[in-house]
Amino acid sequence: MGRSVELARIIDGCKSGDADSFAQVVDMYAGRCYGYFYRLTGDRDLSDELLSELFIRLVEKIGSYKGGAFESWLFKIASNIFHDHLRGKQRRKKLLDAHRTQLELEPDLNEPRFSDDGEMRLDKLQVQLNRLDADTRDLILLRFHSELSFKEIAELRSEPIGTALSKLHRGLKKLRELMEG
Amino acid sequence: MTEHARENLTELLKRFMDAPAVEAAHKDIQAGERLLDAYAAPAPDAAVLAIIKTRMAASALRRHRIIRLVHGSVAAAAAVVVLALIGLLGPGSANRSTLSYVAIMPAVLWDSDDIVADDLDLAYFSSEIGLIEAQMQALDADESGVGGSDASDELEMELMAIQTEFWKG
């Protein structure tokens, strides 16, 4: 309850154009939003760009936020930004080429590319995530990083809750098989 | 506590699956989410976040200025409209004369190029000048009946009379 009151106060500050309130929103959500973008793109620089675009759009759109789950509103914008990015001709081509090359080359996951073990594990998850279809990957990452309920995710994606639940179940099961295989 | 944390996944799955499938699906989802937990995504760079915060502050300031400018313009436009309405509908508007202005000179005179014919005074003086011209020509020609030096005195007198009359209007 205290958290939601605090969040409401911060959002009111944002609506008044208060820079400190915007900075607080960044501190609260940047990690999760960055994780979402990074897992979707596998590119840190691109994730930086998308994260920056997300928060600038937040400044522009905060007046249209009329209550409800702020995370749902924020991740809806994040999802739109990612899909806008995909629609961009040049960027899309670059991204798809990179993914295609990555899949065609079939990277040898037993051959460490990074000296740090944590970085190597990240790379493995990223490769396996890229093997899922884009929609399922988006759904899994949205659920994980936004921490929204299935009801909220179904509303955000404009699809029945049963469909979202079924897709997520199948997607996570496949991801686990890929990781273990 | 978020909606996500409050959510009862088993109850939700029961709405869409048979009882035996629910437990398996629940396990699959939990295992998948544990996997994502284990492979945490990297955190954004602190320098990037600092840049984002600066850009947000600048953007918010710019938007605030634009909004203030727009509000100022709207207020000014509203004031002009209010003043115009007060001028049209306000006190004193009922006492204002409803007579319309008309030209005192007939439109045909404005349209005519024959000034002499249109103006009676001009017509009079034009005929006088014409007469004097005729008398001058007669004097020059030394015509009989017009009369030698008396005639020129008479003409001079006549010119003076016309001049006086002209300035009287």
Residue of B11, B13, B26, B53 to mutate, testing the A interface (most A Cβ within 10 Å of its Cβ): B53
Domain count for chain A: 1
Q: Which domain holds residue A69?
A: 2-180
Q: What is the mean pLDDT of residues A1-20?
A: 89
Distance to chain A for B73, nearest Cα, Å: 20
Residue A114 has pLDDT above 50, yes or no: no
Give A 60-119 residues with CB within 8 A of chain B. 60, 69, 71
Indicate if B67 and B85 belong to the same structural domain: yes
Determine the distance in angstroms separating the CA of B81 from the nearest CA of chain A, rounded to an integer: 29
**pLDDT above 60: residue B135:** yes
DSSP assignment string, chain B: --HHHH--HHHHHHTTS-HHHHHHHHHHHHHHHHHHHHSPPPPPPHHHHHHHHHHHHHHHHHHHHHHHHHHHHHHHHHHHHHHHHHHHHSTTTTTS--PPP--SS-HHHHH-S-HHHH-HHHHHHHHHHHHHHHHHHHHHHT-TTT-HHHHHHHHHHHHHHHHHHHHH-
Same-domain pairing of B116 and B163:
yes
Q: Does A22 touch chain B (CB under 8 A)?
A: yes
Q: How many angstroms separate the CA atoms of A62 and A74, rounded? A: 10
Mean of all residue pLDDT scores within chain B: 77
Whether residue B102 lies inside any domain: the answer is: no
Domain identity same for B112 and B75: no
| Per-residue model confidence (pLDDT) at position A74 | 96
Domain containing B139: what range?
A: 107-168
B111, pLDDT greater than 80: no
B87 falls in which pLDDT band (50, 70, 90)?
confident
Q: Identify all chain B residues contacting A22, using CB atoms and an 8 Å cutoff.
A: 53, 56-57, 60
Residue of B nearest to A144 (CA): B33
Judging contacts by C-beta atoms under 8 Å, the chain A residues touching residue B36 are 125, 140, 144
Task: pLDDT band for B166, please (50, 70, 90 cuts).
Answer: low
Quick check: A112 pLDDT over 50? no
| Interchain pair B3, A30: CB under 8 A | no
Residues B119 and B157 reside in one and the same domain: yes
Q: What's the structural domain count of chain B?
A: 3
Asked if B111 and B160 sit in the same domain, the reply is yes
The answer to whether the Cβ–Cβ distance between B3 and A152 falls below 8 Å is yes
Residue B14 placed within a domain: yes
Stronger pLDDT, A120 or B41, i.e. the higher one: B41
Judgement on whether residues B122 and B163 belong to the same structural domain of the protein: yes
The CB density around residue A126, as the number of other CB atoms within 10 Å, is 18
The pLDDT assigned to B160 comes to 75
Q: What is the mean pLDDT of residues A76-99?
A: 80
pTM for this predicted structure: 0.65
Residue B47 lies in a domain: yes
Q: Is the ipTM of this complex over 0.85?
A: no
pLDDT at A113: 42
Q: In this structure, is residue B1 part of a structural domain?
A: no
Eight-class DSSP state of A1? -
Same domain, B118 and B148: yes
Average pLDDT over residues B5-27: 85
Q: Which residues of A touch B70 (CB under 8 A)?
A: none
Confidence at A98, pLDDT banded by 50, 70, 90: confident
